[in-house]
Amino acid sequence: MDSPRALVIGGSVGGLFAANLLRSIGWQVRVFERAHGELAGRGAGLAIHHELFSVMQRIGIRMAPSMSVEIRSRIALDRAGGVICEVPLRGTFSAWDRIYRALKTALPVECLCAGMQLERFQQNERGVIAVFADGSLAHGELLIGADGVRSTVRRQLMPQLEPRYSGYVAWRGMVEEADAPAAFQELIFNHMIFSFADGEVAAAVPVAPDGAPRQDARRCQFVWWRPVEPELALPLLCTDARGQQHGISIAPPLIRPELIVMLKQQAVSRLAPQLAALVEGARQPMFHAVFDLESPSMVHGRVVLLGDAAFVARPHVGMGVTKAALDAQALAEALGACAGDIGAALAQYERARRPVGSALVARGRRLGAYIDTQRRPKEGLAAILREWGAAGVIDGVTIGTASA
């Protein structure tokens, strides 16, 4: 009897986790990614949880020491750079590109199909047929939508469901260790630091080396969450120097130079000097609008949603990649335990993972309330600090990757 076949739509980390884990239980897998070439340049720093280590070990990936860095604590800084409070919470951080490359290397090259844009799919009680933009078809017993926040799979299943804009964007950038000010290196490469401005939060964390040959220097990433009104300001932010408007996102090289100059000037006037120095030193700051999304169902017949295609939690919770890994693990475990009964396995998967996704979305909204222009307490930061205390704020917020 032939092994069952899974069609994975989306070749980012969520799809690669699913593909590797399903192969480990005997499934045939093909991964269809719409982009050509590597995705490694698209990610940033991310928090590493022990659950993520466990899933990677299950695939057979060993986390080499160079793939992560550790922090000793989380520190809130005042405008002058002094310490407001310190939470002695250790943590481990890696980089999205290191996880992505490890997962892609673990998968046989014949399983990967680049430049394949899904147009639609059809399904019945026995399986699914995927139809791609080049006219080609793929058949399988299961289709996994792991194609991110703008999922084509989810759009066909639930066309009325759209990601919700949070009211703010995340500016981020990376600084190499050699380019960071010497006076700040001990702090920024051993701790996660925070700086609060009115209605804004900036944070920075050390990130693992990128893994390129002869490149073993650490990096430091900043993220600066800033309110941007959706009707006028966000489209203007996404307009390039020639006046072309790019919707609600824009490629980093197309960001208008004057916006970068303004960002760096405002960092000096609003942030602690340690964070302002990182903003100033970043070669190509970029931004993305922050969204969240909560799907009412992750399973639709022989089609299942996974990772950001199903639930998008705001990046403050730092769980995007780990959530995708645990979704994939739960799916593989359910399929392996249900002895060929795919319907029963998918129902088990839904019961296990939908409550988790909903809880993470709710937590992200709570952590982002200070920045959210629609939900921010009228008293601003004072209300947040009064409710949680500064230690509670920095204990609860981390930096996550923009995409799973």
pLDDT digits (tens, 9 = 90+) for 150-200: 999 999 999 999 999 998 999 999 898 888 899 999 999 999 998 888 778
Q: Please answer whether residues 104 and 83 qualify as being in contact, where contact means their C-beta atoms are separated by less than 8 angstroms.
A: no
Instruction: For residue 80, count other CB atoms closer than 10 A to its CB.
Output: 7
Average pLDDT over residues 105-128: 95
Same domain, 360 and 348: yes
Tokens of 106: 């673990």
Q: What is the pLDDT of residue 290?
A: 93
C-alpha to C-alpha distance for 210 and 252, rounded to whole angstroms: 19
227's enclosing H/E stretch is: strand 219-227
pLDDT at res. 214: 44
Rounded Cα distance, 228 and 152, in Å: 27
Residues 279 and 302 in one domain: no
| Residue 5: φ, ψ to 5° | -115, 135
Q: Does residue 343 register a pLDDT over 50?
A: yes
Dihedral angle over CA of 54, 58, 60, 63, nearest 10: 0
The CATH code of the domain that includes 357 is: 3.50.50.60
pLDDT at residue 380 is higher than 50 = no
pLDDT, tens digit (0-9, with 9 covering 90-100), for 75-84: 889 899 998 8
Q: What is the pLDDT of residue 287?
A: 94
| Inter-residue contact 143 to 302 (CB < 8 Å) | yes
pTM of the model: 0.88
pLDDT in the model for residue 41: 55
Same domain, 316 and 353: yes
Domain that holds residue 158: 5-43+98-162+293-364
Are 314 and 274 within one domain?
no
Domain presence at residue 57: no
At 100, the amino acid letter reads Y
Rounded mean pLDDT of the chain? 87
Residue 346 has pLDDT above 50, yes or no: yes
Burial 315-349 (b: 16+ CB within 10 A, else e): bbbbbbbbbbbbbbbbbbbbbeebeeebeebbebb
Buried b (16+ CB within 10 A) or exposed e, 375-401: ebeeeebeebbeebebbebbeebbbbb
Q: How far is CA 183 from CA 79, 186, 214, 278, 371, in A?
A: 17, 7, 25, 12, 30
**What would the mean pLDDT of 337-343 be, rounded to a whole number?**
89
Condensed to tens digits (0 to 9), the pLDDT of residues 259-306 reads: 999 999 999 999 999 999 999 999 899 999 999 999 999 999 999 999
Structure tokens at 114: 């680049």
Quick one: pLDDT at residue 27? 96
Looking at the structure, tell me whether residues 213 and 110 fall in a common domain: no
* Judgement on whether residues 20 and 115 belong to the same structural domain of the protein: yes
Same domain, 198 and 253: yes
Domain total in the chain:
2
- Domain-located, residue 143: yes
Structure tokens at 83: 């310490």
Is 308 contained in some domain?
yes
Q: List, for residues 42-58, the tens digit of each pLDDT value.
A: 556 777 778 888 999 99
- Whether 271 is in a domain gets the answer yes
**297 with 355, same domain?**
yes
- What is the distance between the alpha carbons of residues 153 and 118, in angstroms, rounded to a whole number? 8
Residues 320 and 292 sit within 8 Å (Cβ to Cβ): no
Question: Same domain, yes or no, for 223 and 338?
Answer: no
Query: Are residues 109 and 227 both part of a single domain?
Result: no
The answer to whether 222 and 170 are in contact (CB under 8 A) is no
Structural domain contains residue 58: no
Reported as a pLDDT band with limits 50, 70 and 90, residue 40 is low
Q: Is 53 a domain residue?
A: no
**Would you say residue 49 lies in a domain?**
no
Is 38 domain-assigned? yes
Q: How confident is the model at residue 401 (pLDDT cuts 50, 70, 90)?
A: very low
Do both 91 and 192 map to the same domain? yes
Domain holding 378: CATH number? Answer: 3.30.9.60
Helix (H, G, I), strand (E, B) or coil at 22: helix
Amino acid of residue 87: V
- Pair 229, 356 in one domain: no
